Every structure is written in structure tokens, then in C-alpha cells.
Copies of this chain bind each other. A is one copy, B any other.
């Protein structure tokens, strides 16, 4: 942990100090595992949404069974318990942009990341109901899914 990072202020500083103070690597290992797990979850969101988006755009031929399966996966993934995925001290300022793009704002008192996560759940459940009902139904549901992804990324993910 670089000493220069200790000037950031607020909750983030506290988390950085706490992480540094442990010093035995155990905490860092747990934080790295959490980052890896949440990135894995994002990859699975993307893999399933990618098929639905491809169908919506006409790049992939619509198939009701495949669309339903992807939408069910997305809905189930969005509803996984995420309480262990976002530990304090796992933001981009603490770990570096090469490890995570999660902004410290996620952990601030006024964070709406939880609500934004719930918007994905709502949109994914609606998509689960729509995806097998034809291409137009799928297209009608995909906007809210994309909006919920963007809603969180815009505010809480560092731009590249």
C-alpha cells in the first residue's frame, strides 16, 4: 500500500489504513478474492446479456429457448447475495485501476449503489418474463436492463 494513498480522506482512508494495518496479507487476499468474484459475476451478466442484446439488434437470430435461458440466468445472477463481494478497501483508489474500476463513492454514506443493483434485479426479472415471448417482447424489455447497467456504471465505475 503506497503511503501517498493515505491522504484521500473519509471512509476510503479508513479502509486503506485498516487494510495496511493488518499487514499479513490475509486481508488483501480476501479483498482480491472478492474483486475476482464480483468481476466474474459481471462477466456472467455480460455473457448472458450479450446474447439478448445480439438478438435485439438482429445480429443473432432470435431463438425463444436460448433467449429464455439467458434471461433466466441473468435474473438469477442479479439476485445472488452480494454481501461478500464489496468489502471496504476494495475500491480503485485503494487497489489501483488495473485491479478494479469500482469508485470509492460506492462505499460513501450517500451511495445509491444498492438501489441501482435493485434496478437491475427488477429489469432482469421483467426480461425473464419477456424474452421467450418473441423478439418484440425481448426488445421491449432490454432497454431497462441496459439502463440499469449504465445507471451503476455511470456513477460508480471509473471511466477507462
Contact = CB atoms under 8 A, between A and B. Distances in A.
Interface string A52-79: 0000000000000010011011001101
Main secondary structure of the interface of A (DSSP, over half): helix
Band of interface residues on A: 20 to 34
Contacts of A37: 43-44, 47
A137 B37 CA distance: 26
A26 to B, nearest CB: 11
B84 A80 contact: no
A44 B50 contact: no
A33 B60 CA distance: 15
A80 to B, nearest CB: 5
Contact of A43 (B40, B47, B70): B40
Interface in A15-52: 33-34, 36-37, 39-41, 43-44, 47, 50-51
A47 B33 contact: yes
B69 A76 contact: no
Contacts of A159: none
A3 interface: no
Contacts of A72: 81
Interface of A: 33-34, 36-37, 39-41, 43-44, 47, 50-51, 66, 69-70, 72-73, 76-77, 79-81, 83-84
16 contacts: A33-B50, A37-B44, A44-B44, A47-B84, A51-B84, A66-B83, A66-B84, A69-B81, A69-B83, A70-B81, A70-B84, A72-B81, A73-B80, A73-B81, A76-B77, A77-B80
